[in-house]
Amino acid sequence: MGHIVNGEREYRLLQQRLDQNITGAPYSPVFIKILKLLFSPAEATIARQIPLRPTSVAALARKTGLQQEELQQKILIMAEKGLVFDFEYQGQSHVVLAPVVIGFFEFVYMRTRDDLPMGELAQLFEEYMYRDDKFARDVFQENTQLGRALVQEEALPAGDYSEVLDWEKASHVIQSAKTVGLSLCACRHKASHLGKACAAPLKTCLTFNNGADMLIKKGMAEQSSISEAMVLLEQCKQAGLVQIADNVQRSVGFMCNCCGCCCGMIQAIKTFDLRSAVITSNWAAHITADKCTGCGLCVKGCPVDAIGLEVGSTRPIAVCDSSLCLGCGVCYSACKRGCISMNGRKQQVVVPETTFDRMVTMAIERGKLSNFLFDDPSRLSHRALGRIAAVIEKSAPVKAFMAVKPIRSAFLSAIAAGAKKYTER
């Protein structure tokens, strides 16, 4: 670190800390500018010492050398800005450092505000996320992702609808939620500060349960009723938006209503050809060629450009690339001639059961299991165990071992069980 000037040091250390997160935060001078706008030097010093797993403010106070009351106030300020998660558990205040996504990028733009230079941040985020593919490839590498597409239920054949599981239905996700929060779409809000937002509705981001409670408390979401959220869902479908939800089966945390032009996940697919950036539904569009008139409405409606027109014998015909199709059903709604149906995929899509399962799977795939399990750099035991785990998980024999699905499944189950016990201790 000797080559880093003092003014940069805390921000470089914070960037390195954020990069240990499962979704990463690769170095860029642009990213350092973002951090400087969001974190004061004192906040950066505190933030870089917050573990990736929940830690009590009391433990963090001992680690940083600050008085607990003073630290608590600083944590509250950072939480209000959306830079950390803070919550009460068993009578104690806890905190977690927010990743870039899904994290402080969304929390900055989920509401209107005048305490931050929103236009300048929008330009910097745009440059950091899309000037090259480093950030996108960090976030969306491998197979397990943060978000999954939901199929529009009305697009499913009547005979197959009974086969759709509850967690595949947007309606069930909403109707089973204990709390619903409604926020601005962070992606379209950011785009509005760049003068290039589309005409889609802006207040469309839904959060659920504990996450919604936290965002409502911090003023980042407003509480919505189940019926209001269902009305919004129908409005978003009519606007041609695709529903992308938390990639878990139980306790779904969020549902975005995404456009193909502003959404960061969809832009990763279209800009950098990261086709697995959004997990597909268990359905794919099928176009009946002899009914198609080549009007192009489905081409225009598809959020990921999976449909194109090909020259037929007498007229253009719409053709769908099933390997790119999200299985969202937006094209079904766009077609006015009944040419499109949603067919079940031959291979079922694997969706993690819980957030914990998803995080462990993502950590293993990205070679960051050691960061996830042993992420307290102040303890020698954690550093030693972390190094050992890092060597093991990145070795070629282990990667080959993990490629065998039955073994991988058993390994994940064992790791998850062990990690849960470790976390409880």
Q: Does 215 lie in the same domain as 81?
A: no
Please choose, from the candidates 351, 60, 102, the residue with its C-alpha nearest in 3D space to the C-alpha of residue 211: 102
- Looking at residue 403, its pLDDT comes to 59
Q: Is residue 112 part of a domain?
A: no
Q: How many other CB atoms are found less than 10 A from the CB of residue 58?
A: 14
Q: Does 189 lie in the same domain as 259?
A: yes
Contact 342, 155 (CB under 8 A): yes
78-101 pLDDT per residue, tens: 999 999 999 888 889 999 999 999
Q: Does 334 lie in the same domain as 374?
A: no
In terms of C-beta density within 10 A (0-12 exposed, 13-18 middle, 19 or more buried), how is residue 407 classed? exposed
CATH code, 32: 1.10.10.10
User: CA-CA distance, 15 to 17, in Å (whole number)?
Assistant: 5
176-226 pLDDT per residue, tens: 999 999 999 999 999 999 999 999 999 999 999 999 999 999 999 999 999
Q: Which residue spans within 27-134 are E strands per DSSP?
A: 55-56, 84-89, 92-97
- Looking at residue 365, its pLDDT comes to 87
Cα angle at 208 between 207 and 212, to 5 degrees? 70
Q: Does 377 lie in the same domain as 325?
A: no
DSSP states along 193-258: HTT---SS-S--EEEEHHHHHHHHHTTSSEEE-HHHHHHHHHHHHHTTPEEEEES-SSS--EEEEE
Residues spanned by the domain of 22: 6-98
CATH code, 260: 3.30.70.20
- Looking at residue 311, its pLDDT comes to 86
236-271 pLDDT per residue, tens: 999 999 999 999 999 999 999 999 999 999 999 999
Looking at the structure of the chain, the number of domains it has is: 3
More confident position, 90 or 33: 33
Q: Is residue 241 part of a domain?
A: yes
- Looking at residue 336, its pLDDT comes to 93
Backbone angles phi, psi at 78, to 5 degrees: -65, -35
More confident position, 165 or 93: 93
101-139 pLDDT per residue, tens: 999 999 999 999 999 999 999 999 999 999 999 999 999
Q: Is residue 202 part of a domain?
A: yes
User: CA-CA distance, 242 to 266, in Å (whole number)?
Assistant: 10
Q: Does 92 lie in the same domain as 196?
A: no
Please choose, from the candidates 118, 127, 103, the residue with its C-alpha nearest in 3D space to the C-alpha of residue 37: 118
- Looking at residue 333, its pLDDT comes to 95
- pLDDT-derived band at 406, boundaries 50, 70, 90: low
- Looking at residue 412, its pLDDT comes to 59
Domain boundary among 344, 366, 400: 344
Q: Take residue 130 and report the two structure tokens written for it.
A: 């899309």
Domain boundary among 98, 125, 157: 98
Q: Which residue spans within 142-204 are E strands per DSSP?
A: 147-149, 180-183
Domain boundary among 344, 363, 379: 344
Backbone angles phi, psi at 88, to 5 degrees: -100, 135
Q: Which residue spans within 103-216 are E strands per DSSP?
A: 147-149, 180-183, 205-208
Least confident of 110-114, 176-180, 296-300, 358-362: 358-362
Q: Does 375 lie in the same domain as 330?
A: no
Q: How many other CB atoms are found less than 10 A from the CB of residue 253?
A: 20
